[in-house]
Amino acid sequence: MEVCCQLPVLPLDRPVPQHVLSRRGAISFSSSSALFGCPNPRQLSQRRGAISYDSSDQTALYIRMLGSCVIFKQLSTRDVRVRSRAGFETERRGSHPYIDFRIFHSNSEIEVSVSARNVRRLLSFQRYLRSSRFFRGITVPNSSNILDDDYNGQAKCMLEKVGNWNFDIFLFDRLTNGNSLVSLTFHLFNLHGLIEHFQLDTMKLRRFLVMVQEDYHSQNPYHNAVHAADVTQAMHCYLKEPKLSESLTPWDVLLSLIAAATHDLDHPGVNQPFLIKTNHYLATLYKNTSVLENHHWRSAVGLLRESGLFAHMSLENRQLMESQIGDLILATDISQQNEYLSMFRSHLDRGDLCLEDANHRHFILQMALKCADICNPCRTWELSKQWSEKVTEEFFHQGDIEKKYHLGVSPLCDRQTETIANIQIGFMTYLVEPLFAEWARFSNTRLSQTMLGHLGLNKASWKGVQREQSGGGEDTDPAFEEMDSDILPQEPRLS
């Protein structure tokens, strides 16, 4: 047996002792980010939730443990199981796979039992559990729900209006039985002619989109696949704007839709400051800089490579695609808002944006994705209010955890002192309004005016709620008054 990252050699017939896991106190699963750029293509699939085999060595089982790698060799080739003392959970979507809260308990005991099975392709933890139950004949709850013809018909009718700004993604998600991201993105690929233009295998495309959807955590109130579908739909609306539709190439549209669909991939439901103060390995890996955005990007690259969707392209084109998708996703880091907004404003002041220039088009796509990511206050009140409640619920859940483990409650995360109205008014005032005002300067269309109109009405509505709650208190949350990355949550996606 070999052990990497200086972990001690362990006998195969014994459980992993506690001192080996003392750094985190539990087995967790890491992402493709640690392996990004790895020269061995067989290892590229070792992303989050990794249980995988090197096909060159069928007796080697790789288990990623919070950024470290343990390699067990000389195992039999039947039935792989990795379980904690408590056993498998039915669904881990909302259990923060990167944040194992047993790290705060010194007495946690973990037992690991490992045997081998000839698995060629890496499965994420959730998909591994689902597939293993399926092959053992065990029914997974909610796995047998099938849409009837009526629901399918309604979903198709909604897709005919996918370019409308009042598109109700919550209704569409119900009509597609929770498959809004797969259904909507596949439809947009077809609508924009990308499948034919890039000669994509439709089965590989659907497989890629299913893996993307599965790697969002459905129990996150906000950062889940429905949010990703909503951002993708908004991005489609922006791509239809005259200035963009007349200038963008199929390559630009392809990058935009993939980046929108994957921009929050595998989000753990907590923000960057939480990862930093808990000494999370991702924060260390990315040196406390755009931690979540880097992880979303690297996870997306892992899925692209695993699916083989663009395997028919040249290596140079694939590498360019991965890099440019990264540029788009990294632009969604809210702590970099002022930098991007300043560049955008300067271009508009000088009037030097030329969309015939590939670099300028790419910058505009970055700004478009930023708008799509935080456009919820620009939706109708009915939709915007739902998003506001969901993101605040996610913030407050993080605050509850921080209180429980005496970590110090992050700004905007204390349910005892914050309200949805205060958070939303501050968010709209300091982040949304400046961005969409500049976007309207760039693309002064009916859509831009509609978004600004909804933004004004929604802000007024929240101010009304605020007055009712506080009797005329402050109009904005003081946490937003300083645009400092140490103060603002790095991944709020407030709405």
**CATH code of residue 411:** 1.10.1300.10
Q: Do 227 and 278 share a domain, yes or no?
A: yes
d(Cα 294, Cα 282) in Å, to the nearest integer?
9
Q: Which residues have a Cβ under 8 Å from the Cβ of 151 and sit 6 or more positions away?
A: 175, 176, 177
Residues 63 and 112 in one domain: yes
Shared-domain flag, residues 106 and 175 = no
Same-domain pairing of 75 and 169: no
- The answer to whether the annotation marks 263 as part of a ligand binding site is yes
Q: Can you give the pLDDT at residue 76?
A: 35
pLDDT at 470: 81
Q: What is the pLDDT of residue 83?
A: 30
Which residues make beta-bridge pairs with 71? 2, 62
Q: Which of 117, 144, 171 is the last residue of a domain?
A: 144
Q: Check whether residue 187 and residue 239 sit in a common domain.
A: yes
- Which residues does 39 contact at the CB level (< 8 Å), separation at least 6? none
Instruction: Give yes or no: residues 113 and 191 share one domain.
Output: no
Domain shared by 394 and 334, yes or no: yes
| 55 & 93 share domain | yes
Instruction: Give the C-alpha separation, 101 to 97, whole Å.
Output: 10
Cα–chain center distance at 126: 16
Answer yes or no: do 385 and 329 share one domain: yes
Of the candidates 93, 121, 144, which is a domain's last residue? Answer: 144
- The answer to whether 219 is a known ligand-binding residue is no
Q: What is the largest CA-CA distance in the chain?
A: 70
Query: Any binding-site annotation on 266?
Result: no
Question: Is 449 annotated as contributing to ligand binding?
Answer: no
Count of domains in the chain? 2
Q: Is 145 left (phi over 0), alpha (psi -120 to 50) or beta?
A: beta
Collect contacts of 456-463 with beta carbons under 8 A, ≥24 apart: 457/381, 458/377, 458/378, 458/381, 458/384, 458/385, 458/424, 458/428, 459/377, 459/424, 459/425, 459/428, 459/429, 461/381, 461/385, 462/388, 462/420, 462/421, 462/424, 462/425, 462/428, 463/421, 463/425
Residues 447-461: b if buried by 16+ CB within 10 A, e if exposed? bbeebbebbeebbee
Residue 55: domain span: 1-144
Active site residues: 223
Tell me the C-alpha distance between 485 and 463, whole Å: 26
pLDDT value of residue 152:
80
Q: Are 131 and 236 in the same domain? A: no
* Same domain membership, residue 169 and residue 93: no
Rounded average pLDDT per 10-residue block, the chain, 495 residues: 43 45 40 40 41 39 38 35 30 40 44 34 45 46 45 90 98 96 98 98 97 96 98 98 97 98 97 96 96 98 98 98 98 97 98 97 98 98 98 98 96 97 98 98 98 98 94 57 41 38
223 is in an annotated binding site: yes
- Which of 144, 169, 185 is at the close of a domain? 144
Residues 162, 129, single domain; the answer is no
Q: Is 61 in a helix, a strand, or coil?
A: strand
